[in-house]
């Protein structure tokens, strides 16, 4: 008789054992949202937005911060604020959500895709340094899933080569490197508040930055080119990338809950990693010793396919979903498609990117070799939504038992 639920066996966890939901809100959030609805201040530099912006910048340990429409736009605004434009090269990891590279295209820069480390899937800084040319203006590091790159080294490389360091913090609100929070470690930090993220408002984004000059520039860029505080004597060309008061209300509520949630997720992730480390054929991700608090957007780990007779990670995900009855937002899945194979990263499908034959050639994602990203996506990587990390120790144990059961029986006949 089959053991695995995917083959008709009994699932390890019953459907009635619920996993934590995401996103969440409380009565105070609903009250503030209703208050805004009843007021005549719904957007455009509203008081709820600016109170949140000040609070979140302070939380990140950054001198300045401001909201914008989403995380993609936050990266675009960061690049434009630093005057990065046509033909400038920007170093980007090959494993990330497509927005990190797409934002570079949106300012006519050239995203130079660099492979990642096998045990963190964060940018490989040896390869990043080797990819620097005369045209390189910036490096975007992504704090990916539940790992951070070596931020001391990233800063040193950028200083040595006179590059801007931009942090894509879309996954990791609150992560700390030697006690300093992400968003305060580079020139500009970029956050997403999309509904799946650890600080959500449906959609939304944020920039942290280090200087008044950069802050004012980002302010203008997100507000149709108006100068700081709406000054029309000092304008530039731009569009509307603002956030609404309702989104800010949800963010204010989420920020109050964030610290407690972060600690719970980090404790659960450490416990789960310790359980997974005992299972033959599972390789947890590496946590650098300088990481003093790790935030998680998705919990990820690797399977040792050589040891497991080349079983595919996709098959393991499907079998795990059948055992664990995760809610659909938390389904187990493979990590991001490498950007040289990504169905949503297609620079050549937009005519506006054809600014010259040279540019067209330079932005072709296929010219980059990303073997580690490919191995993670196609063979070894497994990712599950961070909401499971808001569960109990029993939930973590169920999860690990599910992984063990699947790996023990994955070769059984259907
Ligand atoms: C690493 C990373 N950067 C940027 C973004 C873009 O954020 P948004 O969806 O808010 O535009 C995302 C969104 O998933 C992301 O995961």
Query: Where do the domains of the chain lie, and which CATH numbers do they carry?
Result: 5-24+258-336+374-409 (3.90.1150.10), 27-253 (3.40.640.10)
Residue nearest to atom 7 of ligand 1 (CA): 71
Question: Does 368 sit in the ligand 1 pocket, CB within 6 Å?
Answer: no
Name the nearest CA neighbour of 181 among 138, 223, 214, 151. Answer: 151
- The alpha carbon of 318 is separated from its chain's Cα centroid by a whole number of angstroms, namely 23
Question: Does 93 sit in the ligand 1 pocket, CB within 6 Å?
Answer: no
Q: What is the pLDDT of residue 217?
A: 98
Encoding tokens for residue 338? 């490498």
Of the pLDDT bands very low, low, confident and very high (cuts 50, 70, 90), residue 43 is: very high
Is residue 135 predicted with pLDDT exceeding 90? yes
Q: What is the pLDDT of residue 413?
A: 83
Instruction: Say how many Å lie between the CA of residue 193 and the centre of ligand 1.
Output: 8
Given the CA of residue 297, which atom of ligand 1 is nearest to it? Answer: 16
Instruction: Say how many Å lie between the CA of residue 190 and the centre of ligand 1.
Output: 9
- The alpha carbon of 328 is separated from its chain's Cα centroid by a whole number of angstroms, namely 19
Q: What is the pLDDT of residue 181?
A: 98
Instruction: Say how many Å lie between the CA of residue 206 and the centre of ligand 1.
Output: 11
Contact (Cβ atoms closer than 8 angstroms) between residue 407 and residue 305: no
Of the pLDDT bands very low, low, confident and very high (cuts 50, 70, 90), residue 306 is: confident
Question: Does 99 sit in the ligand 1 pocket, CB within 6 Å?
Answer: yes
Question: Does 76 sit in the ligand 1 pocket, CB within 6 Å?
Answer: no
Question: Does 100 sit in the ligand 1 pocket, CB within 6 Å?
Answer: yes
**Averaged pLDDT for residues 376-385:** 97
**Averaged pLDDT for residues 94-115:** 98
Q: Which residues contact 19 (CB under 8 A, 6 or more apart)?
A: 324, 325, 326, 327, 330, 387, 388, 391, 395
Question: Does 48 sit in the ligand 1 pocket, CB within 6 Å?
Answer: no
Q: What are 163-217's pLDDT values in tens digits?
A: 999 999 999 999 999 999 999 999 999 999 999 999 999 999 999 999 999 999 9
Name the nearest CA neighbour of 98 among 341, 396, 267, 391. Answer: 341
Q: Distance (Å, rounded) from C-alpha 232 to C-alpha 225?
A: 9
Q: What are 216-234's pLDDT values in tens digits?
A: 999 999 999 999 988 999 9
Q: What is the pLDDT of residue 1?
A: 80
Name the nearest CA neighbour of 193 among 53, 337, 391. Answer: 53
Q: What are 58-70's pLDDT values in tens digits?
A: 999 999 999 999 9
What are the φ/ψ torsions at residue 115 (nearest 5 degrees)?
-70, 170
Question: Does 72 sit in the ligand 1 pocket, CB within 6 Å?
Answer: yes
Question: Does 70 sit in the ligand 1 pocket, CB within 6 Å?
Answer: yes
Q: What are 307-355's pLDDT values in tens digits?
A: 888 889 999 999 999 999 998 889 999 999 999 999 999 999 999 999 9
């Amino acid at each position: 008789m089959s053991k695995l639920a995917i083959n008709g066996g009994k699932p390890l966890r019953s459907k009635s054992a619920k996993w934590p939901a995401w996103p969440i809100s409380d009565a105070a959030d609903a009250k503030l949202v209703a208050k805004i609805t009843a007021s005549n201040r719904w957007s455009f530099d509203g008081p709820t937005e600016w109170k949140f912006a000040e609070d979140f910048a302070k939380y990140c340990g950054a001198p300045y911060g401001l909201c914008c429409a989403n995380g993609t736009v936050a990266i675009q605004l960061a690049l434009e604020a630093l005057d990065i434009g046509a033909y400038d090269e920007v170093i980007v990891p090959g494993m990330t959500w497509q927005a990190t590279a797409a934002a570079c295209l949106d300012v006519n820069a050239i995203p130079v895709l660099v492979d990642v480390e096998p045990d963190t899937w964060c940018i490989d800084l040896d390869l990043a340094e080797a990819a620097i040319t005369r045209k390189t203006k910036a490096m975007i590091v992504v704090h990916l899933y539940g790992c951070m790159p070596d931020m001391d080294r990233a800063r040193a490389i950028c200083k040595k080569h006179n590059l801007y360091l931009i942090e894509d913090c879309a996954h990791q609100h609150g992560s700390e490197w030697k006690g300093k929070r992400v968003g305060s470690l580079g020139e500009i930090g970029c956050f997403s508040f999309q509904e799946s993220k650890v600080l959500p408002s449906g959609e939304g984004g944020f920039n942290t930055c280090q200087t008044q000059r950069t802050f004012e520039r980002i302010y203008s860029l997100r507000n149709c080119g108006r100068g700081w505080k709406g000054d029309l004597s000092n304008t530039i060309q731009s569009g509307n990338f603002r956030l609404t008061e309702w989104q800010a209300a949800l963010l204010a509520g989420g920020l109050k809950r964030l610290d407690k949630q972060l600690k719970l997720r980090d404790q659960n992730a450490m416990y789960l990693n310790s359980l997974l480390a005992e299972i033959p054929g599972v390789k947890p991700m590496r946590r650098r010793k300088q990481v003093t608090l790790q935030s998680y957007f998705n919990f990820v780990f690797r399977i040792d396919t050589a040891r497991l007779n080349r079983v595919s990670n996709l098959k393991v995900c499907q079998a795990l979903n059948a055992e664990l009855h995760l809610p659909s937002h938390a389904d187990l899945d493979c990590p991001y498609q490498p950007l040289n194979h990504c169905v949503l990263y297609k620079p050549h499908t937009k005519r506006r990117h054809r600014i010259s034959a040279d540019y067209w050639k330079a932005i072709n994602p296929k010219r980059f070799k990303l073997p580690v990203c490919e191995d993670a996506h196609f063979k070894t990587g497994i990712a599950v939504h961070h909401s499971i990390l808001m569960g109990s120790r029993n939930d973590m144990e169920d999860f690990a038992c599910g992984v063990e059961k699947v790996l023990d029986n994955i070769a059984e006949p259907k």
